[in-house]
Amino acid sequence: MKESSDTRVLPSTPVDRLRLYGVFFFFFAGFLYVIGGLVYRQLIQSNDLKEQSDTQSRRVVLRPPARGRIYDRNGFPLVDNRARWSVKADLASLQKEFRAEYLRLLAAEKAREAVSIDREKLMEDARVRVLQGWLNKVWFVIDETNRNTKGRNWVAKLTPVTAPAERQINIDELRKHLRERRALPFTLVNDLAFPGAGQALTADDGTKSVARFIEQFPVEGPIRLDQDNVRTYPYGPMAAHVLGYVKDTDMLPDNVDDISEVRVESMQRLRYTGKTGAAGVELSYNNILSGRSGWELWTKTSSGYNQTRLKFSEPEQGGNVMLSIDYRIQQATESALGKLKDPQGNLLPAAAVMIDVHSGEILSLASQPSFDPNRLADRVSSKYYDEIEKTGGWLNRATQGLYPPGSTFKVITATAGMRKKVVDWDDVLDCGPFFRVGNRDYPEHEPVGYGEVNLDKMLAVSCNVWNYQVGLRTGIEALAAESRRFGLDAPLLQTISDMETGGLPMTELPYAASRGLVVPDRAYKLRIGAGAWNDGDTANLSIGQGYLLTTPLHMACVAASIARGETRTVPSIIHSQERTGRHIGSVPIGLNADQLEALRGGMVRCVEEGTARVARIPGLPYAGKTGTSEYFKKGEKAHLAWMIGYAPADHPVVAFAVLVEGQTDTNTWGGKTAGPVAKEMLETWWPIAVKANQDENSKAPR
C-alpha cells in the first residue's frame, strides 16, 4: 500500500519548537501590550478621554433669558418682550443650487472668452445670486402691496437693483458668515415684523408680515423660519429717554459658572449673544431685568450641525420693574411737546416733567426730539443712529440738558431776599424801565417799566428790576447759598431706602444730572478764569441768567418744594405705595406764613392774570412762573421758554416744569410757548386725579 504524500506527517525537531516558543512569546507580549493598553485607557485615562470625546462631539448652546417687563404706575406694560421671527437660509441644503449657478456663470465666462477667470469670485457671485433669488421670493410673499395685476403674471414692486438695503444680500455679511459661522444658517430677514429697517410697521402690519410668510411660503426647502425673543416698546418713542434701550452683548452671563454638570468653559459653544441695558431704566435696573440664562447640551454631527439635545436648563425671565410714570400723562406731555415746531416744521427741542409734590415720584418725563427704542432693540442701522445724532435725540433734556432758568429763578431770589430780611412780602419797590448797575443799564422787559411793584405783582408780571434790586441787596453769597439750599447744585439721586422701594436697590436716576450743574459765586468765576465777580453778575443771576445752569427736573423739584413749603424734593422714577414723602436734606423753607402765602399767591396770580394767563385752566386754579432766558445758538441770540408751577393752588398734588429751546428766527416766550404744554399736561392729569380721588373715597369704610 502506497502512502499518499499529502497525508505524511513530518517529525518535529528541537529547532522548530524553539521557533514555536518564539512565536508564542511574540504573541503573548503583543497580547500583554494590548491588554495593558486597554487597562491604561480604560482605568487610568478614561476620564480624560471621556472629557475629550465630549468636547469634540458635544456642544453647549446658551439660551439668553427674557428680560423682565417695565410697567407704568398703573400696571400698563411700557416695555415687554415679543417673539421675533427671522428667515434663514440653510447653506448646506443650497450647495447644489450654488454649484449649478456657478457652472452657469462659468459657462457664460467661457463663452465670453474671458482672458482670466476668477473662480472664487464666480463662486461668491453664484452664492449671492442664489440667496438673492430666495430673498426676492421672501419679499414677494411678505410684501402686502404685491398684487396679481396681470392675470397670473406677477409684478413685484421692487427689483433688486432699486431695492433698499434690506432687500439685497449684503455681500460683506455673507463673507463674514462663511468665514465665522459657516455651519449655521444665513439670515435673510432678521425680523419679519420689521422687515424694512427704514420703515416702522404697526403691530398689526408686523403680525401680517409674519403670518403671510408662515402660511404662504413653502414649508419644504432650504428656507427656515426661526423664533427668539426681542425687546419691544409698545408705545414706540414714548418715554424713550426714561426707558432707554438694550444692546447686544457677547459677555457670558454670570450664572454660566454654575453649570458644573457640563463644564461650559471646556465645551465648544456657539457665539453667545444676549441683551443688556444700554441706557435709561434698562441700564439702571439691568441687574433686576436681566434674568438667568439657560443652556442646552447637544451632540453634534461630523458636519457640525446639532443632533440630539442631551440636557438642558431653562432660562429664567428677569424681574419686573414698576415705574412711577403714568403713561396717559406721559402721552399727553409728549403730544403737547410735539406741537412745538419751527417755521420749517421741524420739532423744537424741548423737555417737560411732572412730579408728585409729596412723594417726588415722576409722573411724566419727556424730552424732544426722541428716538424709537424698538429700532435700537436689535441691529441698529448706522443711518438711524446718525439720524438721532443729527437731531440731538440722544440727549435727555429733562435731566441732562443744562440751561439758565431765566425768570423761573425769581422765586429763589425772592425767598433769599425775604430770608435775609432785605425785602418783605408787602414791600413796594419802584421799578422803572431799567436799573443801573455800575455803568450799565439793566433793562426791564416792559419798555415803560412796572412802577410800584410788590412781591405778588413781581411774580405775576415777572418784573426784572425788582429782582435786580433785591438780588443786589441780598448779595451773591446769599443768593448762591439759597440756590444750593434748593438743591440746584446737587445731582438728583434715588435716595430712598430699600424698604420704601419694595426691595429695589438704591440706584441713580437714569441720566442723573450729576455733572455740569452750575451755581455761580465768586470762587466759581475765578476758577473758570473769568475774572472777579461784580454787581452785574449778581444782577444777572437774580433773574436766572448768566453762569447759572440747571435742568428742567431740578426746576420741577423747586416748584414741588415751594408747594410743600420746604427746600428739597428727591425725585424718583420707581413707584412705591409705601413711600413716606420724606425728602432727604429737605428743611422748612424758612419764610413766615405771610411771606410764603405771598410767594404762592404771586405764582397763582401769574397764571390768573400774569405772564402765564394763556395757560389758565377754568376750574383748576394753579400756581405758575414763566421764564424767558437767552442763550446763544450758532452764535446768534435765541430764547429759552420756561414754565414751572404746581397744581391745584390750594392743596398741591403735582408740580411741573417745561422748557423749550427756541430757534433764532422764532418768537419764543415762556408763557406763550411753554404755557400751552403745561396746560395740556394739567388738563390730562386733572380728570385722572379726580377719578382716582373718587375711587379712593368709594373704597373708604362707611
Regarding 174 and contact with another protein (CB under 8 A), the answer is no
d(CA 457, CA 462): 8
- Contacts (CB under 8 A) with another protein, residues 308-347: 314-315, 317
Contact 626, 671 (CB under 8 A): yes
Residue 369: asked if its preceding bond is cis (omega within 30°), the reply is yes
Regarding 137 and contact with another protein (CB under 8 A), the answer is yes
Determine the interface stretch with another protein among 221-229, 377-385, 459-467, 472-480 (rule: CB under 8 A): 221-229
Regarding 88 and contact with another protein (CB under 8 A), the answer is no
Among 188, 210, 321, 512, binds another protein (CB under 8 A): 210
List the one residue out of 438, 627, 635 whose CA is nearest residue 533. 438
Determine the interface stretch with another protein among 205-213, 432-440, 453-461, 610-618 (rule: CB under 8 A): 205-213
Regarding 211 and contact with another protein (CB under 8 A), the answer is yes
Q: Site mask, another protein, residues 251-290, x = CB under 8 A? A: ----------------------------------------
Among 214, 478, 518, 620, binds another protein (CB under 8 A): 214
Regarding 90 and contact with another protein (CB under 8 A), the answer is no
Regarding 224 and contact with another protein (CB under 8 A), the answer is no
Residue 601 DSSP SS3: helix
List the one residue out of 274, 206, 226, 287 whose CA is nearest residue 246. 274
Residue 657 DSSP SS3: strand
Total of residues contacting another protein (CB under 8 A)? 36
Among 88, 109, 123, 146, binds another protein (CB under 8 A): 146
List the one residue out of 376, 377, 316, 372 whose CA is nearest residue 67. 316
Regarding 148 and contact with another protein (CB under 8 A), the answer is yes
291/645 with CB nearer another protein = 291
Among 6, 113, 120, 215, binds another protein (CB under 8 A): 215
| Smallest separation, CB 207 to another protein (Å) | 6
25/154 with CB nearer another protein = 154
63/564 with CB nearer another protein = 63
Determine the interface stretch with another protein among 102-110, 114-122, 206-214, 470-478 (rule: CB under 8 A): 206-214
83/165 with CB nearer another protein = 83
Q: Which residues of 69-108 are buried (b: 16+ CB within 10 A; e: fewer)?
A: bbbbbeeebbbebbebbbbbbebeebeebbeebbeebbee
Query: What phi, psi does 92 have (nearest 5°)?
Result: -65, -40
| Smallest separation, CB 8 to another protein (Å) | 42
Contact 510, 573 (CB under 8 A): yes
Residue 269 DSSP SS3: strand
Among 57, 132, 187, 229, binds another protein (CB under 8 A): 229
Regarding 150 and contact with another protein (CB under 8 A), the answer is no
Among 58, 59, 63, 564, binds another protein (CB under 8 A): 63
Among 212, 613, 616, 633, binds another protein (CB under 8 A): 212
208/445 with CB nearer another protein = 208
Non-local (6+) Cβ contacts of 250 within 8 A are 271, 272, 273, 274
Among 15, 43, 219, 593, binds another protein (CB under 8 A): 219
Q: Which residues of 158-192 are buried (b: 16+ CB within 10 A; e: fewer)?
A: beeeebeebbbbeeeebeebeeeeeebbbbbbbbb
Contact 436, 486 (CB under 8 A): no
Regarding 701 and contact with another protein (CB under 8 A), the answer is no
Q: Give the DSSP H/E element, type plus range, for residue 431.
A: strand 429-431
Regarding 208 and contact with another protein (CB under 8 A), the answer is yes
Residue 648: asked if its preceding bond is cis (omega within 30°), the reply is yes
**Residue tagged 446737587 (cell numbers):** 490
| Smallest separation, CB 204 to another protein (Å) | 8
Regarding 216 and contact with another protein (CB under 8 A), the answer is yes
Non-local (6+) Cβ contacts of 402 within 8 A are 513, 516, 517, 518, 549, 550, 551
Would you give the DSSP letter of residue 250? -
Contact 299, 308 (CB under 8 A): yes
Among 8, 113, 179, 218, binds another protein (CB under 8 A): 218
List the one residue out of 361, 353, 362, 355 whose CA is nearest residue 334. 353
Residues, the chain, total? 702
65/648 with CB nearer another protein = 65
Regarding 83 and contact with another protein (CB under 8 A), the answer is yes
Regarding 135 and contact with another protein (CB under 8 A), the answer is no
| Smallest separation, CB 131 to another protein (Å) | 16
Among 66, 70, 322, 332, binds another protein (CB under 8 A): 66
Among 38, 103, 107, 155, binds another protein (CB under 8 A): 155
| Smallest separation, CB 212 to another protein (Å) | 5
Determine the interface stretch with another protein among 91-99, 154-162, 251-259, 351-359 (rule: CB under 8 A): 154-162
212/473 with CB nearer another protein = 212
Residue 384 DSSP SS3: helix
List the one residue out of 601, 612, 103, 60 whose CA is nearest residue 299. 60
Strand-pairing partners, residue 441, are: 436
118/144 with CB nearer another protein = 144
Determine the interface stretch with another protein among 96-104, 224-232, 318-326, 627-635 (rule: CB under 8 A): 224-232
Regarding 228 and contact with another protein (CB under 8 A), the answer is yes
Q: What DSSP assignment string belongs to 288-355? A: HHS-B-EEEEEEE-TTS-EEEEEEEE--BPPPPEEBS--HHHHHHHHHHHHT-B-TTSPBPPEEEEEE
Non-local (6+) Cβ contacts of 583 within 8 A are 360, 561, 566, 568, 569, 570
Regarding 114 and contact with another protein (CB under 8 A), the answer is no
Regarding 693 and contact with another protein (CB under 8 A), the answer is no
Contact 73, 575 (CB under 8 A): yes
Non-local (6+) Cβ contacts of 417 within 8 A are 423, 470, 471, 473, 474
List the one residue out of 106, 116, 252, 128 whose CA is nearest residue 178. 128
Regarding 156 and contact with another protein (CB under 8 A), the answer is yes
**How far is residue 546 from each of residues 438, 525, 629, measured CA to CA in Å?**
17, 11, 10
Among 132, 207, 335, 664, binds another protein (CB under 8 A): 207
| Smallest separation, CB 133 to another protein (Å) | 11
- Residues engaged in binding another protein (CB under 8 A): 63, 65-66, 81, 83, 136-137, 140-141, 146, 148, 152-156, 159, 207-208, 210-212, 214-220, 225, 227-229, 314-315, 317
